[in-house]
Structure 1
Amino acid sequence: MRVHSLHPWPATRAEAEAVQDRLRPLVSLTGPATFPLVAGLDVHYRGEDELTAAVVVLRSGTLEVVEQVSVRGRTTFPYIPGLFAFREAPALVEALERLSVTPDLLVCDGYGLAHPRGFGLACHLGVLTGLPALGVGKTAFVGDFDEPGRSRGSWSPITLDGAVVGRALRTQDGVKPVFVSQGHRIALDTACDQVLELAPRFRQPEPIRRADRLARGGSTPTP
């Protein structure tokens, strides 16, 4: 698949923040409601700078694996809070470019709008690819939220500076919530519906679960 080359990869904080500032206005918060092919994206680190980026494309509904790609590399950008995408996105972009199919939705292990600069990994990859994208975080990153109800599907809004930037969503009865935020070309209701549909048995959505397994060097697990 094709990924747009909208900027060179930066080397400094100032350059990275300038990229975010330039791309942030391109984010759209509306889009389609159905996604036949869904890609999960995750990165696993080996040591401080070595990483493996993985993309696993599933067929919506059956969760059948359509294609999977992993890329080993080395990050060249320093760890700076709020700019973490610049450590992982180059390898993820390379993995996406190796796909022979184009997914309809990117499900990222990370954040979208629920980000200190309002432009997390899901926003960045969504804008670069032009595809709908959402972020699913395992822990709260920014903003305030109330604990959602304990039943599957319960949620509460995540607010930051008076704006709703995502939801704390319970994907299984009695388990910790995940933190869902829009990345690009998707409404928040749709993003949460997709996360629930893609998490029929476990806390994490299947596309991310399988990408995590692949990035760690294993085969993708069955649902």
Structure 2
Amino acid sequence: MTRKTTSRAVALAAVFAALPLVAGTSAFATSSATYPTQDHFLQTADEALGVVTRVRAARLALFDDHTDQARVELERALDILNTAEAELPSYMMRDFPEAASEYNFLPFDMSMTLTEDFQASEENAQALQQAQGLFKSADPDAAVEVLKLAEIDVQVSVAMLPYETTMQGLNAAITDITSGEFYRANLDMKAIEDSIQVRTFLIDEVPAQGVTE
């Protein structure tokens, strides 16, 4: 699988390069997470993004009455997940801190931003510059550690696709299209799209990946 960690890290470096290094105070909230948290830069699963793209293409094909093409797109989406079955668990995460965290999610997109109440100071300016350099040099794990240790007010937004229900939905949609149940197939695909969750965490409260139980 091809990952895009380097380009993502370089893009994030631009966020920190644009920070105003002015005097102020930091309102960093100490982590109170009661679940396993990430100890390195979040890794996104390109396969999950591929599935989301294929499902969208399948729905559009179905709307245009191209039912065969819709089935092909769904079969490709299913094949993406089946081919990477052995590797995907290392990218999975639970939807903490939601109460109903019964599914394993695959993160497929993420962004890092400063919290709204962030104010740069002389104390954290050096850490911000160091993190920027580490992101530019494609060492995001070290950059995240610097931000955590300096208690910089950074939040991480993650888009996640539930693995188990997506597999079920893909199989159901393929079966329904094959049986001519196009309305039901559309509902199957809509359910997959609706199941995508977007969560925002403080940088030291991002749920750990590889936790599937």
| Greater gyration radius | 2
TM-score (norm 2): 0.25
Higher strand proportion, which one? 1
Higher helix proportion, which one? 2
Answer 1 or 2: higher relative contact order, Cα 8 Å, separation at least 6: 2
TM-score (norm 1): 0.24
